Chain A
Amino acid sequence: MKKIFSRLLNHLITVLLYISGSITSLIVILIVFFLFSEGIGLFGKKPTEDGFIMAVNKSNTVNHLNAEQIKLLFDGEITNWSEFGGKNDSIILFRMDNITDYFTEEQIGENFENLPACISKVVDSIPGIVAFVGKHYIDKNFAGKELQVDKITVGDFMFGKLWFPTAHPVAVFGALPLLLGTFWVSIFAILFALPLGLATAIYIAEVAHPTVRNILKPVIELLAGIPSVVYGFFGLVVVVPFIQNAFNLPVGETAFAGSIILGIMALPTIITISEDAIRTTPRSMKEASLALGANHWQTIFRVILPYSSSGITAGAILGIGRAIGETMAVLMVTGNAAVIPHTLLAPVRTIPATIAAELGEASQGGLHYQSLFILGCVLFIITMIVNLAVEFISRRNRRVAS
């Protein structure tokens, strides 16, 4: 009777585990699917506002431009068509507001009835012109030609240098600054956190007196549980002013500040996992080293660290993983400038910070909204790679150990 009951219980538990396992996997897949389906519409769309077109002189040999080029054009950064592969004509911008520079109000007509003809005339008479006008002012007799706007491609998105998701007349979605921002902040966070974390792990595992260890370990594990806003606040109040003063900068909100805060946040992960790895070094291995006349430090560096290197690597990668995905603290201390950082002391913006800061203001279903979901996908892929790397390393570790 008892036997049957426990058998039944076993069965029930197996079934429950099976169900919860498959439901969890399904939900993860659904989330990923949702991210992609929300964002994928971005590609293949034109980044211009609906109802507007760009018109140029018939003689202009440039036929199409992408969003980044248009942005540079309207910002006056590029002033000659030759830079777009066209003729050597300087670029003259024309918007609807400019119409009165060329025509009197009588010529345009009381009810703007002559406007299409006026626009046509202007575009026809100035070779270097580019006119950004409403579609309904372009009629059949239009003397210029429409400048085509390139659709957004994956390449533009991943390697575009400009992130202006709300710019007029074209929005520019180049995620490179955000990718690089994430990359810089994370790399330097790990460069700063790994030596420090490893040293602490070695100290706790091998050097510290047991009483010190028993105090230190729970404290460090506690650090992992502090909400990231608190770290961000600490960064804002302590680290940012410090950096500003130390390097004599106009603002202290920099990639460097983000790296330091992320490094501190990654420390508990790195310390805990490395320390566990160091402790798995068999006693016999240490004794063998000591018995050969090696001192404690030689034993640590020549036997214990090599033996636990894959565990330490896993700790470091998980630390990076946390850094890459971290949002709030970074948002608070990095200055949030979506530009490609050339030094650590410049403001940057990371992918998660961008999503957090912009999702609220992006209208649902719009290009901006979709671009943020694509950013989410990119982030997902990066963290997935990081986790696979950990899995791979710890699997290799298991093989070596056995």
Chain B
Amino acid sequence: MYKIESKEVSLYYGDHLALKNISLQMKANTVTALIGPSGCGKSTYLRLLNRMNDLIENVKIEGTVLIDNKDIYARGIKIDDLRKKVGMVFQKPNPFPKTIFENVAYGLRVNGISNKSYIEERVIRSLQNSALWEEVKDKLNKSAFELSGGQQQRLCIARALAIEPSIILMDEPASALDPISTAKIEELIYELKDKYTIVIVTHNMQQAARVSDRTAFFYIGELIEYNDTKEIFTNPQNQRTQNYITGRFG
């Protein structure tokens, strides 16, 4: 039984075929890294899993995507509910122009939760789980923009954790951050694995090797190789995978 499963999924932006027949399975409580040269469709695949691509005009999707064995593109699926289950962290930190507290509470509030003490408890827990609590506990009512880039990104992770999703999608979450912040995020991913299924896009090979259990290599819209991370990095089966991880292109 897989947590996430895509079966022969293709995606078109207008006429442009961005994903070709992708079949991929991910188990619960694993970290899967999506790697590949830029423009190969990693973000597109990630956004397929919480239906973020629906926002873009002229997108056509073929095949099926199952989460917890349910087709998320089936008729009658409520997108809001899907997105509550599948949290997302973006490439650039994108906190709301609100206080630190309200940023984390946002997901709860839009889901109709108004119990003050419950919200407070969830906000604190989420900030603790995203390793930000110690740094912000004295300034929860300050604007989120006062935080550093790395702190903002952990705030965005806390924001995603607050609504208790079971899957977290991360699109190059550390690419805009300094090495120390990056290390903190990686550590965090490692800890979150116990509770969440994580899919992370990264262009950083070392990062993929450090944090992930499984790695998928994409190349111009195709899934070239998908295997245990250790296998991919020590014993790639495909020549193009080998070229990419050894830095010969990309």
Residues of A within 8 A of B (CB): 210, 282, 284-285, 287-295, 298, 302-303, 306-307, 400
| Residue of A whose beta carbon sits closest to that of B80 | A293
Interface size on B, residues (CB 8 A): 27
Asked if residues A291 and B96 are in contact (CB atoms below 8 Å), the reply is no
B192 to chain A, nearest CB (A): 17
A218 to chain B, nearest CB (A): 21
Per the bound structure, the CA–CA distance linking A288 and B156 in Å amounts to: 9
Asked if residues A292 and B97 are in contact (CB atoms below 8 Å), the reply is no
Per the bound structure, the CA–CA distance linking A294 and B80 in Å amounts to: 6
Asked if residues A295 and B50 are in contact (CB atoms below 8 Å), the reply is no
Asked if residues B107 and A292 are in contact (CB atoms below 8 Å), the reply is yes
| Residue of A whose beta carbon sits closest to that of B110 | A294
B73 at the interface (CB under 8 A from A): no
A35 to chain B, nearest CB (A): 42
Per the bound structure, the CA–CA distance linking A287 and B52 in Å amounts to: 8
Per the bound structure, the CA–CA distance linking A287 and B97 in Å amounts to: 14
Per the bound structure, the CA–CA distance linking A298 and B110 in Å amounts to: 7
A8 to chain B, nearest CB (A): 44
Residues of chain B within 8 A (CB-CB) of A295 are 80, 110
Asked if residues B87 and A289 are in contact (CB atoms below 8 Å), the reply is no
Q: Quick one: given A292-B83, A307-B97, A400-B97, are A302 and B110 in contact (CB under 8 Å)? A: yes
A246 to chain B, nearest CB (A): 41
B159 at the interface (CB under 8 A from A): yes
B111 at the interface (CB under 8 A from A): yes
Residues of chain B within 8 A (CB-CB) of A400 are 97, 145
B160 at the interface (CB under 8 A from A): yes
Q: Quick one: given A282-B94, A284-B94, A285-B94, are A291 and B163 in contact (CB under 8 Å)? A: no
Residues of chain A within 8 A (CB-CB) of B88 are 287, 291
| Residue of A whose beta carbon sits closest to that of B109 | A302
Asked if residues A289 and B96 are in contact (CB atoms below 8 Å), the reply is yes
Main secondary structure of the interface of A (DSSP, over half): helix
Q: Quick one: given A285-B96, A303-B96, are A292 and B90 in contact (CB under 8 Å)? A: no
B84 at the interface (CB under 8 A from A): yes
Per the bound structure, the CA–CA distance linking A285 and B88 in Å amounts to: 13
B138 at the interface (CB under 8 A from A): no
Asked if residues B94 and A292 are in contact (CB atoms below 8 Å), the reply is no
| Residue of B whose beta carbon sits closest to that of A283 | B55
Asked if residues A293 and B97 are in contact (CB atoms below 8 Å), the reply is no
Closest 5 CB pairs of A and B: A292-B107, A293-B84, A294-B110, A291-B88, A284-B94
Per the bound structure, the CA–CA distance linking A298 and B83 in Å amounts to: 14
Contact of B163 among A282, A293, A303, A307 (CB under 8 A): A293
Asked if residues A284 and B92 are in contact (CB atoms below 8 Å), the reply is yes
Asked if residues A291 and B106 are in contact (CB atoms below 8 Å), the reply is no
Q: Sample 14 A-B pairs with CB under 8 A, ordered by A number.
A: A285-B94, A289-B96, A291-B50, A291-B52, A292-B84, A292-B159, A292-B163, A293-B84, A294-B110, A295-B80, A298-B110, A302-B106, A306-B97, A306-B98
B121 to chain A, nearest CB (A): 18
Which B17-76 residues sit within 8 Å CB-CB of chain A? 50, 52, 55, 57
Per the bound structure, the CA–CA distance linking A285 and B110 in Å amounts to: 15
Asked if residues A288 and B80 are in contact (CB atoms below 8 Å), the reply is no
Asked if residues B163 and A287 are in contact (CB atoms below 8 Å), the reply is no
B68 to chain A, nearest CB (A): 16
Per the bound structure, the CA–CA distance linking A289 and B88 in Å amounts to: 10
Q: Quick one: given A292-B83, A292-B110, are A287 and B160 in contact (CB under 8 Å)? A: no
Per the bound structure, the CA–CA distance linking A362 and B111 in Å amounts to: 66
B38 to chain A, nearest CB (A): 18
Per the bound structure, the CA–CA distance linking A293 and B108 in Å amounts to: 9
Asked if residues A292 and B52 are in contact (CB atoms below 8 Å), the reply is no
| Residue of A292, A295, A302 contacting most chain B CB atoms (<10 Å) | A292
Chain B 89-120 against A: per-residue CB contact (8 Å), 1 yes, 0 no? 01010111110000000110111000000000
Chain B 110-140 against A: per-residue CB contact (8 Å), 1 yes, 0 no? 1100000000000000000000000000000
A398 to chain B, nearest CB (A): 13
A171 to chain B, nearest CB (A): 55
| Residue of A whose beta carbon sits closest to that of B93 | A284
Residues of chain B within 8 A (CB-CB) of A292 are 83-84, 87, 106-107, 110, 159-160, 163
B15 at the interface (CB under 8 A from A): no
B178 at the interface (CB under 8 A from A): no
| Residue of A whose beta carbon sits closest to that of B162 | A292
Asked if residues B90 and A284 are in contact (CB atoms below 8 Å), the reply is yes
Asked if residues A291 and B110 are in contact (CB atoms below 8 Å), the reply is no
Per the bound structure, the CA–CA distance linking A210 and B87 in Å amounts to: 29
Asked if residues A293 and B81 are in contact (CB atoms below 8 Å), the reply is yes
| Residue of A whose beta carbon sits closest to that of B84 | A293
Per the bound structure, the CA–CA distance linking A291 and B87 in Å amounts to: 6
Per the bound structure, the CA–CA distance linking A289 and B106 in Å amounts to: 8
Residues of chain B within 8 A (CB-CB) of A288 are 90, 94-96, 156, 159
Residues of chain A within 8 A (CB-CB) of B145 are 400
| Residue of B whose beta carbon sits closest to that of A210 | B57
B35 to chain A, nearest CB (A): 22
Chain B 7-19 against A: per-residue CB contact (8 Å), 1 yes, 0 no? 0000000000000
